[in-house]
A and B are shown apart, each in its own frame.
Chain A
Amino acid sequence: MITLENIEKVYRTDKIETVALQAINLKIREGEFISIMGPSGSGKSTLLNIMGLLDAPTHGHLALNGTTVDSYGDKQLARLRNERLGFIFQTFHLINDLSVMDNVEVPLLYRRMSGSERRKLALRALERVGLSARVHHFPSQLSGGQQQRVAIARAIVGNPRIILADEPTGNLDSQMGEDIMSILLDLSKTEKSTIVMVTHDPRMAEKTERTLRLFDGRQVN
């Protein structure tokens, strides 16, 4: 499903050069639920962003579903992100000026689709995360756990095969974290979604099928 071959990422600023990732080789199978662990600054987000086509590696190759995307342009990458990938972030990244429903519809805005169909899919996604009663609320009126559930609804609304979650429970208390984790496990089980989750919490990582450990930009096993 996702193949990373010799991935290296170097950030160059005026004076310093940061090697964020080095010699990463990884194959993630379809339907696999994998966690990434490592200390802060070890390159977890960078790796996730590269898999999520938000950032390009400095060296190495990346393939999704067996298709190498190295030479893809902005439009093609955006389309892949839209159709194949769903993102969940530690800080939710909801648009405060939009209602819950409208937030969930955002990925569908970049597809050809009627307004009513968007509405239908968004409502279904919100039902999936147990928030169908909050569609007209705004993010500021929700708890952190509820906001993250909206973000999950937004990530799955377009029915992507891959979900990338960057510390999805990092900003939540343990009870809310458990709720989020059980939604992800359920998606993995019933939808057979491929899930890559960055986490600091070993108890969360334990529940996944495999854990990749990063240290200073390198894989450690």
Chain B
Amino acid sequence: MIKHFLKMVWNRKRINGLIMIEIFFSFVVLFTVITATVYYVSNYRKPLGFSIDRVWSISVNTRLPWKTHMKEKVDGMNQLTLALRGLPEIESIGGISMVPYSRIDGIYGADYNGRPVETHMNHATDGLKDVLTIELTAGRWFSSDDDAAKSEPAIINERLAKDLFGSDDPLGKEIPFASQHGKPRVVGIVKDFRKSGEFSQPVNYMISRIKSNDTTELNLWDILIKVKPGTTAAFQERLVKTMETVAKNWTFDVVRLEHERESDFKLRLAPLIAGGLIASFLLIMVALGLIGVLWQNVSQRTKEIGLRRAMGGTAQHVYRQILGEQFVITTLGVLVGSILVMQVPLLDLIGFIQPGTYIAALTISLILMYALTYLCSLFPSWLAMDIEPAEALHYE
């Protein structure tokens, strides 16, 4: 029977070809949008590693030239921290070089046992753990104990730990990403630290320590504070005033990380929403096209349908004929579409998306296309079933 459906579809290829092309295009667009959605959803469901609840960031502009006045800068930062500690609205204070949701990244590569390893890197103060509610799965966060230590301490995420040391215990191990103080040692492990937010791709991550009195390195960092519950936006003004009295020539830019997250979401989701709208539009076009073609099909083919009944086809057979032909057309459209879109993972054109994401997206897209086909074919097929053979064959 499938062979017969194929034959019918092939011999009516002019009208079916158009609808097949429509199905092909909407399938490709649908697949693209669903791949992006699946990618985002799966990222979103992975642990972020920190919480930005009630966290504000203060970016400090010293207005001093690059790599000069180091002592002045470090002293200024320490005095600022001290002054902020006096404010009752502030629960905890920390510092970080690359603030969550910011668009800057430090990426480092090194050879480890003859194998290239890459990691994203960030720098944080001892106080950051409480501000961002960072939980460690092993070891500890930075503390003043590290001041006297021979090697620099580092916190790494589980992904980097696994990448470097496999199943060995990473605590105390030296890691290959050298700073000017030599190779750091792992003191703590976090599940993850996805600085770029919920929708970002999980990457290897390493956090090194910002020492409060280190003037040898350029300590460009932003202050993060966690305010107490119920603190209003009005506090911002007092906060800035307090800081301005401590560091007279410096300027400060205060933002709530919730706002940063919001604009990050908007930026990432906007293309997805646009793609979703295009895909929905195409699907509606396909649905209307399908219903139109099928309807015309049934009304043009009443004689054929009557004839099939006369030759021994049941109403059920007629129903299956209309549905079957449409499924053949859809199958041809999505088959060509699948072959095309599967080139992306096969040729590894977009490296950061996992094969599982493509498979899930392909499955969802196929289900949607077939569901749409089924729904659009249902009514015309019912119409076809209702055709009375005697009447259909009667008049010219």
Contacts of B8 in A (CB 8 A): 97-98
Give the total number of A-B pairs whose CB atoms are below 8 A apart: 67
Q: Which residues of A contact B310 (CB under 8 A)?
A: 52, 54, 81, 87
Min CB gap A108→B, angstroms: 9
* In contact, A91 and B390 (Cβ under 8 angstroms): no
Q: Is A66 an interface residue, CB under 8 A from the partner?
A: no
Q: Does A145 contact B (CB under 8 A)?
A: no
- Please encode chain B, from 307 to 330, with 1 for each CB lying within 8 Å of some chain A CB and 0 for all others: 111111111110000000000000
Contact A95 B389 (CB under 8 A): no
Report if B162 contacts A (CB, 8 A): no
Q: Is A82 an interface residue (CB 8 A)?
A: yes
Q: Contact check, A49 vs B390: say whether CB atoms are below 8 A apart.
A: yes
Docked complex: A85-115 residues within 8 A CB-CB of B: 87, 89, 91, 93, 95, 97-98, 102, 106-107, 109-111, 115
* A49→B306 CA distance, assembly (Å): 12
Q: Kindly state the separation between the CA atoms of A97 and B389 in the bound complex, as whole angstroms.
A: 19
Interface flag for A203 (CB, 8 Å) = no
Q: How many residues of A contact B (CB 8 A)?
A: 29
Main DSSP-derived SS at the B contact region: helix
A89 to chain B: closest CB distance in Å?
A: 6
Known contacts A54-B309, A79-B312, A83-B312; A110/B317 CB under 8 A: yes
* Residue in A closest to B396 when the chains form the complex, CB atoms: A91
Most A-side CB within 10 Å, residue of B303, B306, B312: B312
CB nearest neighbor in A for B3: A115
- B311 engages A95 (CB within 8 Å): no
CB contacts (< 8 Å) of A158 on chain B: these are: 312
Q: How far is the CB of B343 from chain A (nearest CB, A)?
A: 34
* Smallest CB separation, B63 vs chain A (Å): 81
Question: Which residues of A are in contact with B by a Cβ distance under 8 Å?
Answer: 45-46, 49, 52, 54-55, 74-75, 78-79, 81-83, 87, 89, 91, 93, 95, 97-98, 102, 106-107, 109-111, 115, 154, 158
Q: Which 3 residue pairs of A and B lie closest in terms of their CB atoms, listed nearest first?
A: A82-B312, A55-B390, A97-B11
